[in-house]
């Protein structure tokens, strides 16, 4: 049997070492030579579906991985806590000053500014979870206490946990009892309505029949009024035409009559003026009339005296006169 050559054995060993280094570089992603930030988050609820190697993301961008989980039980109150340890990759985060190397002090400032961790569902089919980081200013930072050299990031309930809490706060048994009572009341109301719908439908039918009869009567009355109104309007139209013709025909006679009336009025004014002149205090005719009236008065006095004398002494008066 030939002895193994040292050169061949050495080449084989060196080739194996080279393949091992290449495999480490390929599967390790050169992370053996990169620094990481160890962080810890503590979730209050269940972490079922979260496994070692699950991604740690910031709004969907992977910035680290889950490196370990363990159960921690406080002895006094036996309250369980589940710390989850993370390895954050500084090269995945760039700060405003342009630095790609993130120090723990920068992460502490981010936590003070509202950086929080939350469980997020990776897949609805597998139910696997991941840890999602985001800023939630104004939320309370509940810290449990991390080991030395480990950054603790406060947590907030996941969307699923918040939904569970909302369902728990709804008090579903009480809500179910109220719903059952409401449905029972609705059933009673529907039963009573079913008993009353028949008479109510008959009454509505009768009311509709009466309304239909009233509408027909009103329609007939409106038609009759419309016919009478049409006849009246025609008569008024004929009267207007006849009046227009009468005015046109007798217009000249009316004009002549008005002129004659005007002349008569003028003559009456003249007569009144003459009468006023005759009866004025300084009118000669008025003096003659007054003298005639005085003579008539004197004659009347003489006649009265003669009459009295005749009544007292008829014979003497007559003989004296003879």
| Tens digit of each residue's pLDDT (9 = 90 or more) over 73-113 | 877 788 888 899 999 888 887 776 655 455 556 778 888 88
| C-alpha to C-alpha distance for 235 and 198, rounded to whole angstroms | 56
Domain range summary for the chain, segments of one domain joined by +:
28-158, 284-321
Q: Which of 307, 311, 309 is nearest to 320 (CA)?
A: 309
In the predicted model, is pLDDT for residue 294 greater than 60? Answer: yes
| C-alpha to C-alpha distance for 229 and 315, rounded to whole angstroms | 95
| C-alpha to C-alpha distance for 305 and 86, rounded to whole angstroms | 168
Task: Answer whether 0.75 is exceeded by the pTM.
Answer: no
- When computed from its CA atoms, the radius of gyration of the chain, rounded to whole angstroms, is 67
| C-alpha to C-alpha distance for 85 and 146, rounded to whole angstroms | 10
How sure is the predictor about 231, in pLDDT bands with cuts at 50, 70 and 90? confident
Helix (H) or strand (E) holding 68: strand 61-69
**In contact, 144 and 44? CB cutoff 8 Å:** no
Structure tokens at 84: 């989850």
pLDDT digits (tens, 9 = 90+) for 216-230: 888 888 888 888 888
Query: According to the model, what pLDDT value does residue 110 have?
Result: 85
Query: According to the model, what pLDDT value does residue 86 have?
Result: 92
The answer for 114, left when phi > 0, alpha when psi is -120 to 50, beta otherwise, is left
∠ CA(153), CA(157), CA(161), 5° rounding? 150
Tell me the mean pLDDT in the region 17-38.
Answer: 64
Structure tokens at 70: 């363990």
In the predicted model, is pLDDT for residue 30 greater than 70? Answer: no
């Amino acid at each position: 049997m030939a002895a193994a050559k040292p050169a061949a054995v050495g080449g084989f060993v060196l080739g194996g070492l080279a393949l091992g280094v290449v495999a480490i570089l390929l599967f390790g992603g050169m992370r053996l030579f990169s620094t990481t930030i160890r962080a810890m988050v503590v979730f209050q609820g269940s972490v079922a579906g979260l496994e070692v190697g699950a991604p740690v993301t910031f709004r969907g961008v992977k910035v680290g991985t889950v490196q370990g989980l363990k159960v921690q039980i406080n002895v006094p109150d036996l309250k369980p806590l589940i710390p989850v340890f993370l390895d954050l990759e500084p090269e995945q985060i760039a700060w405003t000053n342009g630095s790609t190397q993130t120090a723990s002090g920068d992460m502490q400032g981010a936590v003070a500014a509202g950086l929080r961790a939350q469980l997020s569902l990776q897949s609805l089919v597998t139910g696997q979870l991941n840890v999602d980081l985001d800023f939630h200013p104004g939320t309370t930072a509940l810290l449990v206490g991390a080991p030395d050299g480990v950054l603790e990031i406060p947590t907030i309930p996941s969307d699923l946990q918040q939904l569970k809490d909302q369902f728990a706060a709804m008090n579903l048994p009480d809500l179910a009892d109220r719903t059952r009572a409401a449905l029972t009341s609705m059933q009673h109301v529907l039963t009573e309505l079913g008993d009353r719908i028949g008479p109510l439908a008959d009454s509505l039918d009768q009311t509709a029949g009466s309304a239909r009869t009233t509408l027909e009567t009103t329609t007939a009355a409106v038609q009759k009024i419309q016919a009478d109104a049409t006849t009246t309007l025609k008569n008024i139209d004929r009267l207007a035409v006849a009046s227009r013709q009468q005015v046109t025909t007798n217009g000249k006679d009316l004009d002549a009559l008005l002129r004659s009336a005007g002349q008569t009025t003028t003559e009456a004014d003249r007569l009144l003026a003459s009468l006023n002149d005759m009866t004025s205090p300084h009118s000669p005719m008025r003096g003659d009339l007054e003298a005639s009236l005085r003579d008539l008065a004197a004659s009347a006095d003489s006649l009265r005296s003669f009459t009295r004398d005749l009544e007292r002494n008829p014979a003497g008066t007559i003989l004296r006169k003879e």
